[in-house]
Structure 1
Amino acid sequence: MSWKTLIAAACLVAVAPLTHADDLVGQTEQAQQQAREHNQAREAQFAMTERELRQKRDELKATRNALETETEKLSDTFSDNEQQLASLEDKLRLESGSLGELFGVVRQASKTIQTDGVSSYVAITQPAFNQTVSDIVAADTLPSLKQLNALWQGMLTQMQTSGELQTVSLPVVNAQGVASEQAVVRVGNVGLVNDQGYLNWQADRQVAVPYRAQPDNTLTTSTLEQAVSSVGETVLIDPARGTLLGQLENAPSLGDRFAQGGFVAKVIATLLAVGLLIALYRGAVLLSIHAKMHRQLKHPDTPEDNPLGRVLKVYHDAPQRDVESLELRLLEAVVDEQHGCEKGLSMLKLLAALAPMLGLLGTVTGMIETFQVITQFGNGDPKVMADGISMALVTTVLGLIAAIPLLLAHNILSGQADHIRGMLEKQSISLVAEQAETTDNQAAIGPTA
């Protein structure tokens, strides 16, 4: 390396610190200037931020005041709404209760109409109304206004048509069980009438069946036409809508009552018939004997074929007998005639005693059958036990009915027989007394002669 190079290097080394120092001073001044500018910028930013914050604070204060004002208004509105809501709730409670009561009344009325519709004759011509009633009864919610209007209109129509006569075509079942369409007259809401009389409307089968038993002067279409055409004409109706006619149909006749007694009733009736025949025959015989004896009293010297005549014949056949023999003969004749007069009365008395015993037998038999039915089916349905009880009661009544006239006939005939016996005894005593007087007179004349 040359010396020039070394001198240049030494000069550079000597000048380098001075340059670096100047650079540092410049940099420091520049940094300070930048710091001042930065600080000024920050101060300006802080000032602007402060203004913004103040502005936002003022806005927030205004918003707060507005919110506080609105809150107060809302509080007042809430209080008013609460009061109004409480009032509306009370009103809703009252109206809901009234509506619930209305719905209950409507359902109850619908159930009543549906129940009455089974026996109602007006409902036959109102199938739509019947369906509306069924829908209201089966519904779990409030009925609609349409249903309420239909219910009201249907009830109004029923009330109007219940006082009218209307000819309708319905299936009617005849005695052979065949249904055919016939024109029948609906008499308001109390019955259906055709040419034979009243009809029983069976709603489950939708057919009309004639009642098996019709009342006297029953209402028919012809009598109804005459009643409508004439003034003041009265007709026979069933206001119970078939209930009374059904009871008339269920009321047993005398033959039905007798049939309920069974075999025992037939035996009692046979005893009664036999007893009455015996009573009638013996009564006729005793009346004839009584009449013949009265005729015989007018002609005692000519004995005829009657008890008194036979007693007189005993007296006339033995005029020379002593008093004791005559008395015994007459007593024998009176006893024979008494047996003839009382013939059949013992049988009549026996039949009169047997009749209530047979009735008691039928009663016991009927009660046994009743208890058997109770054992098999229970006692929940009285109709199941009706046959046995009917047999028990009917046989008891028949036994009493048979015993009463038989006992009465026996007493009457016994009285007549006693009366005849009394007449015979009286005449026998008279004859004995007459014979005794004759004997005494002859005995008195003999010694005198």
Structure 2
Amino acid sequence: MRTLSLHKFPLMVALLSLGLAQPSLAAESLTSKAKTAQQQESQHNADREAEFKKQEQQLAVRKAELEKRKAQLDASIESLSTAFSDNERTLAEQQKKLHLETGSLGELFGVVRQSAKELQVELDHSVTNTEQAKQIADINGIVAAKTLPSIQELTGLWRAYQAQIASSATYANIQVPFVAGNGEITQLDAVRLGNFALLSNHGPIDWDGKLASDFPRLPKNVPTSTDAAGVVTGQTAALIDPSRGDIYKQLADNPTLTERFEHGGIVGKIIAGLFALGMIIALYRAAVLITTEQKINKQLKSPNTPTDNPLGRVLSVYNSEKQLHVEALELRLLESIMDEQQHLERGLSMLKLLAALAPMLGLLGTVTGMIETFQVITQFGNAEPRVMAGGISMALVTTVLGLITAMPLLLAHNLLSSKAETIRNILERQSVGLVAEQAEAQTIEHKEAYAA
């Protein structure tokens, strides 16, 4: 064991010396790296400082250039402001001078433009605008002008007036674009009467300045294109609208009785049905009562031969029951009169019911129409009369129909009731007379029997 330790001792000494030498070598390496890094950082900072100084010099040069440019702009602004002020003064002086020199020409310009605008509107709606393209262009130029009109423009205005006046005294065959009811646009042969009417082969047509179309409604005996020559010469009498169709258009705003009835809707049709039913009942009952009255008058002339009529039936009851006592006979006659009265007044209660029901249905139509009107207002959010026309028409028409139905039915009910009452009075008078005769006869018999 000791021998082995002596052999290992030199190796241990060598290892120990190597371990002590390694820290000093590491320290020297770190110092060298630190110095190298410090030198690199110093060089980098020096480069950055040089770059900053270079940029500073460039910015200084740019600043000097901008300051120079600013000074130039300030000088230019000052110069322009002075020139603007001078120009303003010069313009004011020139405008004052122009106003003094033109004098009343400014008023003339206003009159010319106003006349040109009126003629422009006239030509836009005239049936001759397809033949006066040159005049329309001249008028548009005058209206759009901002300066005094020239002699050429004034001459153009005069010529446009002259052409319009000349065209009002002529008629000509022309072709116009026509819009059919299905929306199709075709070329239509028409005759121009002056500058206010267009006639086609089916009558006058409407012209809006660009397209022609049919009027909603035309009166009777309107001229056609074949009548144009006769109308111009005065040989053909015809209705011509000189207002370029305004009167024809107003005809559409005046509905016929049929159209007004259609405005009443389903309620109006029901009221009309009630009116027809009531009038049928009234006419039938009137015929029955008149015939009955004639038969009764004929029966009054021959009371001993009863026939088939109310008075004849009462007389038949009297002849068959006259052996009864006066009170019993009176009751039997009264019963017969009541039966006849029931037949005479048949249907009159229905007339009275229809007369009372018609205004109520009219009120129903009124309420329904107003509800429709308010629904339209709710949907469209405005009170446009054309939008509300349908509901208002229904509301008013049904009220009128109800009143028109009620009045004749009430009158018929009153007349027929009076007629039935007259016939009933005749029957009562005759029955009272018969009872009186029977009472006198029985009194005489009693007296004779008592005397005997």
Query: What are structure 2's unaligned runs of at least 5 residues?
Result: 1-93
CA deviations 1:226-279 (Å, max 9, x no partner) are 344565x54311122110001113321222111111111111111111111111
- Partners of 1:163 and 1:99 lie apart in 2 by 34
- Partners of 1:275 and 1:245 lie apart in 2 by 39
- Partners of 1:96 and 1:261 lie apart in 2 by 67
Among 225, 232, 246, the alignment partner of 1:221 is: 225
**What aligned pairs does 1:58-207 form with structure 2 within 5 A after superposition?**
92-93=98-99, 96=102, 98-203=104-209, 206-207=210-211
- What's 1:365 paired with? 368
With over 3 angstroms needed to count, the CA separation of the structure-2 counterparts of 1:382 and 1:143, relative to structure 1, is: farther
Q: Does 1:280 align with 2:283?
A: yes
Do 1:323 and 1:435's aligned partners in 2 also have CA atoms closer than 8 Å? yes
TM-score (norm 1): 0.75
- Partners of 1:89 and 1:137 lie apart in 2 by 23
Shift of 1:371: 2.1
One-letter code aligned to 2:438: Q
- What's 2:325 paired with? 322
- What's 1:37 paired with? none
Q: Does 1:425 align with 2:431?
A: no
- What's 1:14 paired with? none
- Calculate the aligned-residue CA RMSD, in Å: 2.3
Q: SS in structure 1 opposite 2:420?
A: helix
Q: SS in structure 1 opposite 2:396?
A: helix
One-letter code aligned to 1:221: S
Shift of 1:140: 3.5
One-letter code aligned to 2:216: R
CA deviations 1:379-413 (Å, max 9, x no partner) are 45221121111111111111111111111111111
- What's 1:210 paired with? 214
Do 2:299 and 2:312's aligned partners in 1 also have CA atoms closer than 8 Å? yes
Shift of 1:291: 1.5
- Partners of 1:375 and 1:441 lie apart in 2 by 89
Q: Does 1:269 align with 2:272?
A: yes
Do 1:293 and 1:308's aligned partners in 2 also have CA atoms closer than 8 Å? yes
Shift of 1:359: 0.8
Shift of 1:171: 2.6
One-letter code aligned to 2:302: H
TM-score (norm 2): 0.74
- Partners of 1:112 and 1:318 lie apart in 2 by 99
Do 2:193 and 2:228's aligned partners in 1 also have CA atoms closer than 8 Å? no
One-letter code aligned to 1:102: L
- Partners of 1:112 and 1:249 lie apart in 2 by 28
CA deviations 1:335-382 (Å, max 9, x no partner) are 111111111111111110111111111111212222222233244522
How many residues in Structure 1 have an aligned counterpart in Structure 2?
Answer: 360
CA deviations 1:275-318 (Å, max 9, x no partner) are 11111111111112111111211221121221111111110111
- Partners of 2:138 and 2:371 lie apart in 1 by 52
Shift of 1:331: 0.8
- Partners of 1:94 and 1:273 lie apart in 2 by 84
Shift of 1:332: 0.9
- Partners of 1:255 and 1:282 lie apart in 2 by 29
With over 3 angstroms needed to count, the CA separation of the structure-2 counterparts of 1:240 and 1:358, relative to structure 1, is: same
- What's 1:344 paired with? 347
CA deviations 1:406-449 (Å, max 9, x no partner) are 11111111111111111111111111111111111212222233
